[in-house]
A = this chain, B = another copy of it.
């Protein structure tokens, strides 16, 4: 298909498609004349992946280029690509300055990793992001929120197990790697949105029950079954 058709199918403007080609995110079309190129379903699929990572994943163009370069490097093992991609798409938060809260957060992360028996580096980008978030909680006066860390870790483990099972069902190296990247990035968005909906539901139940809204220590945080009675 011509670039105009690719644009129409994906909703991505022609100049943007050309920009992605220049930046190495999208392979160039096959030249059919000196100034005309043909694109196929591989381009279309890749373009949709790029948009998902940029729009919902919030990645920068340069990060998407790096992730896709790792995906396309056929010489890498699946495990190696997943490691590289995971580091590239790890959340990165500002506010990572070294201070007492940051030191305390790093200790919490190391303890958590040991307690869960996780086979992960405690200085990986994901561990670093967790320490940054915990340090920010500490600085904001909510260091005790860390008490619920294991509830969060339980939920994260459950979701991660489902993710890995989904990825393992895909056919071939490229399918596995691509679905791991998509699932990792878009899964964050699903989880964040669902958590907000569950908050709204919990708050509504407390409110509907006439127990004074979430300020009541009895109306909130109870299991749904109780709240309904």
Residues of A within 8 A of B (CB): 10-11, 45, 48-49, 51-52, 54-56, 58, 77-79, 82-83, 86, 90-91, 93-95, 97, 99, 113, 116-121, 124-127, 129-130, 132-134, 136-137, 139-142, 145, 148-149, 151-169, 173, 176, 179-180, 182-184, 186-208, 213-217, 219-221, 223-224
Contacts and interface: CB of A to CB of B under 8 A. Distances in A.
B161 A202 contact: yes
Output the residue of A159, A198, A216 with the most chain B CB within 10 A: A198
Main secondary structure on A side of the interface with B: helix
A205 B11 CA distance: 40
B93 A191 contact: no
Given A93-B189, A168-B220, A126 B79 contact: no
Contacts of A190: 130, 133-134, 149, 152
A186 B155 contact: no
A22 to B, nearest CB: 21
Contacts of A54: 94
